[in-house]
Amino acid sequence: MATITGARETHTASPHRPALAMPQRVPARVPGWWRDAVGVAAWLSMLVVVALWMAGGGIQAMGTVPGAFTSLGRLTGLISADLLLIQVLLISRIPMVERVYGHDVLARRHRLVGFWSLNLMLAHLVAIVIGYALAANLNPFVQFWEMTVDYPGMLLALAGTLLLVLVTVTSIRKARKKLRYESWHLLHLYAYLGVGLAIPHQLWTGQEFLTSAFATIYWWGLWIAAVAAIGIWRVGVPLYRTFAHDLRVTAVVRESHDVVSVWMRGRNLLDMPVAAGQFFNWRFLSGPGWSRSHPYSLSAAPTDNTLRITVKDLGDGSHALASVKPGSRVVIEGPYGRLHTGVRTRGLVTLMASGIGISPLRALLEDLPAEPGDVTLLYRARSRADLVLRGELEAIAARTGARVYYLVGRRLPGRPSWLPESAGLLSDAAALAQLVPDIATNDVFLCGADAWMDAARHAAIECGVPAANIHDERFSW
């Protein structure tokens, strides 16, 4: 295959780049039962809610049509509130939850739970209004107006619901594609305000808060846990790490016409649980837009005083990185992600990167403990000019004995594929097996565009790699 070539050429390193970092440490593996424990805890919380509804006379109240609507309205409202708090906890960066699921899986579950929470919240509103209207023999619209203006906390709850509707609508995939990441991120912050506005209504008029001491303790405990998680892991820990490690930009290096690397220096960076392949949410205090964070992976193995990211110009935030001034302070939130050596389960490893997805895999290539021949890197790019960090990859390969192959060319038309156009005579699985004959016994790490990773994952599975041995991180928002 003419477009697939080995890499053993030499390149001159940039004067901004320090010597290659040696592997630092392997993050501890996460016990498998942690994932089950988190899932069981979420389901148990909903069972508790249903039990509280039943203990509060939920079933007995369904003896009449108005009572049935009202009681179902109470139940849907309670489950909606519980899911809303689970949604907050899923994305509050609790270390145990983050480590066991990974940020991309949590983001997808956060979105799914959010959709269900909003749907049940709207069902709660409709059922309660109909139930009350039937009991009072009123027009439902009149009943809704009276509830809104007369019931404690209802105006605030209505405002909160509208904000949550806005956030949910803009989280639908088609809507997200029409928004810049920066705009979507700003809108998404209104979810916190929406949750906060719902609290008074539940506390003042929620019957289930008052049915028993256990109910009161449960609901207050859940609210306090959500607020504490946000305060500690989204605010407190990032601020502490930002000031404790005093991270500053030292250099901005242009790797190609649309890719830059940002080098940063700090102190005692390995006191953080950081590993090659992970990412942070970054804020560079050097101009407009500093208040919005952006997720970028480390593109070099971390050392005790240096970090580096390599970013492609894909939006306002990434475009602004080229003009970040040396000396600028950096605010960090993280590290996050499961694309690190701690998830490795086999001696042999294949790294598959596409485009700027090379960033975390370049760091992994540097950091993976391995004997010569244990690690293979497959790097897909549109052209040779787009093979960023090529000199570093080849220097690492020369030091470690890793095999590096480039797959260069335009996309293969007519089918979703991880291969370039000139390799189209082979199936995705056949090409992978040709490049890595023992692929079935490898751990496989993937990073690239979603569709490309889907094709690469499918090829690896066809070649006999178990799904549990395929590791990826997706940053689509």
Domain shared by 94 and 176, yes or no = yes
Instruction: Provide mean pLDDT across the span 16-38.
Output: 61
* Shared-domain flag, residues 102 and 199: yes
- Paired tokens of 108: 């997808």
Domain extent, residue 223, equals 32-235
Residue 19 lies in a domain: no
Query: Do 90 and 75 share a structural domain?
Result: yes
Note whether 220 and 305 are same-domain residues.
Answer: no
- Asked, for residue 11, whether it belongs to a domain, the answer is no
Q: What is the 3-state secondary structure (H, E, C) of the chain?
A: CCCEEECCCCCCCCCCCCCCCCCCCCCCCCCHHHHHHHHHHHHHHHHHHHHHHHHCCCCHHHHCHHHHHHHHHHHHHHHHHHHHHHHHHHCCCCHHHHHHHCHHHHHHHHHHHHHHHHHHHHHHHHHHHHHHHHHHCCCHHHHHHHHHHHCCCHHHHHHHHHHHHHHHHCCCHHHHHCCCHHHHHHHHCHHHHHHHHHHHHHHHHCHHHCCCHHHHHHHHHHHHHHHHHHHHHHHHHHHHHHHHHCCEEEEEEEEECCEEEEEEECCCHHHCCCCCCCEEEEEECCCCCCCCCEEEEECCCCCCCEEEEEEECCCHHHHHHHHCCCCCEEEEEEEECCCCHHHCCCCEEEEEEEHHHHHHHHHHHHHCCCCCCCEEEEEEECCHHHCCCHHHHHHHHHHHCCEEEEEECCECCCCCCCCEHHHCCCCHHHHHHHHCCCHHHEEEEEECCHHHHHHHHHHHHHCCCCHHHEEECCCCC
Whether residue 344 sits in one domain with residue 332: no
306 and 426 inside one domain: no
Residues 125 and 194 both lie in one domain: yes
| pLDDT, the chain, mean | 84
Per-residue pLDDT tens for 235-253? 999 999 999 999 999 999 9
Instruction: Among 336, 361, 386, identify where a domain stops.
Output: 336
- 421 inside domain: yes
Residue that terminates a domain, selected from 336, 356, 379: 336
Of 200, 235, 270, the last residue of a domain is 235
Task: Confirm whether 21 is domain-assigned.
Answer: no
pLDDT in tens, 175-207: 666 666 656 666 666 666 666 666 666 666 655
Q: Which of 141-155, 262-276, 292-306 has the lowest mean pLDDT?
A: 141-155
Can you say whether the dihedral through the CA atoms of 191, 192, 196, 199 is positive or negative? Answer: positive
The answer on 224 and 103 residing in a single domain is yes
CATH number at residue 263: 2.40.30.10
Is residue 315 domain-shared with residue 385, that is, in the same domain? no
Kindly report the number of other CB atoms within 10 A of residue 8's CB atom: 10
pLDDT of residue 317: 60
pTM for the full predicted model = 0.80
Count of the separate structural domains present in the chain: 3
Question: In this model, does residue 77 exceed pLDDT 60?
Answer: yes
Residue 4 lies in a domain: no
Mean pLDDT, residues 284-311 taken together: 87
Q: Residues 52-71: what's their mean pLDDT?
A: 88
Tens of pLDDT, residues 419-466: 998 888 889 999 999 999 999 999 999 999 989 999 999 999 999 999
Which residue type is seen at 461? Answer: I
CATH number at residue 411: 3.40.50.80
The domain that holds 61 is classified in CATH as 1.20.120
Specify the pLDDT at position 372.
92
- 20: pLDDT confidence band, cut at 50, 70 and 90? very low
pLDDT at site 130: 93
Residues 227, 197, single domain; the answer is yes
Token digits for 149? 């203006």
Domain annotation covers residue 24: no
Q: Flag whether 2 is in a domain.
A: no
Indicate if the pLDDT at residue 16 is higher than 50: no
Same-domain check for residues 165 and 280: no
Kindly state whether residues 39 and 187 are assigned to the same domain.
yes
Residue 17 falls inside a structural domain: no
